[in-house]
Amino acid sequence: MLVEQITIPNKKFKDFRFLIKLTATMAIIKINNIARHFYLGNEVIKALKKIDISIEKNEFVALMGQSGSGKSTLMNIIGCLDTPTSGSYHLANQNVSSLNDNSLAEIRNKEIGFIFQSFNLLPKSTALENVMLPLVYAGYNNKIRYQKAIDALEKVNLSDRVNHKPNELSGGQRQRVAVARALVNNPSIILADEPTGNLDSRTSKEIMGLFKDIHKKGNTIIIVTHEENIARYAKRIIRLKDGEIESDEINKSLKNS
């Protein structure tokens, strides 16, 4: 049974991680009646049309849909990269729809780990330096940044590539660096946008196996994909079409490898 309201005296925004841990039995992500419109001259593009979604802690969810379905728009809102035109979005009982840009940036850096199709690594920085970057923004000193980044790279089996730059790594290794960067702040939520889109089938399988291991350790994972075989690694599949939820089902054909 979900807990709808929790009152914590004298707790401020800086204790957001505490709130997420406290609400382990409730929806970490709660989206109510969300709509997102874009305006091109006199034309209104309704990318999302009154979406309702609830995601529990430690769920592994795939958002599926063809181009134009609204899946990427929805992920941007979940990741606090965009705000809805209407409706509400609660992240661990905090209405992030009403937060200012600085507060949203703090949530993105500390509570959400992003993984992208194009890796988004700094080309002139080493794997270690790329993974350390979120920790710089989080205010950790250099000694702690170094150790946390080393630990994260070890988790993705790249301890022997810490001083390599992106152009010295394979596609799979670059994505592993991106995964390590997403994990380094110990986020509560991992958002992955087409994470295997630039990888061959063998490497895609390795990366999805890595996601399954991360999920087993307690992370909430949301993957955006248009590939059915990738979505089958998730325990729940939400399909979008024309800005609306077409289906939301438990995956009965779960891939284990």
| Full domain range(s) for residue 213 | 58-85+101-250
How far the first Cα of the chain sits from its last, in Å, is 32
Q: What is the pLDDT of residues 48-102, one digit of tens each?
A: 999 999 999 999 999 999 888 999 899 999 999 988 999 999 987 788 987 888 8
Residue 96 within any structural domain of the chain:
no
As a whole number of angstroms, the distance between CA 134 and CA 176 comes to 16
Quick count: other Cβ atoms within 10 Å of Cβ 1? 5
Classify residue 227: in a domain, yes or no: yes
The answer to whether residue 255 sits within a structural domain is no
Q: Has residue 128 been placed in a domain? A: yes
Q: Order of strands across the sheet with 236-241?
A: 112-116, 189-193, 220-225, 60-64, 236-241, 244-250
Has residue 42 been placed in a domain? no
CB distance 257 to 82 below 8 Å: no
Residue 10 counted as domain residue? no
Instruction: Report the alpha-carbon distance of residue 101 to residue 91 in Å, rounded.
Output: 15
In single-letter form, the type of residue at position 60 comes to F
pLDDT at 3: 38
CATH number at residue 227: 3.40.50.300
Low-confidence residues of the chain: pLDDT under 50: 1-14, 16-24
Q: Which residues pair with 112 in a beta bridge?
A: 189
Number of domains in the chain: 1
Question: Which residues are CB-neighbours of 150 under 8 A, at least 6 positions away?
Answer: 128, 159, 162
pLDDT of residue 47: 95
Domain for residue 167, yes or no? Answer: yes
| DSSP per-residue codes, 176-196 | HHHHHHHHTT--SEEEEESTT
pLDDT of res. 52: 96
The answer to the question of residue 185 being in a domain is yes
Helix/strand/coil for 247 = strand
Q: What is the pLDDT of residue 58?
A: 93
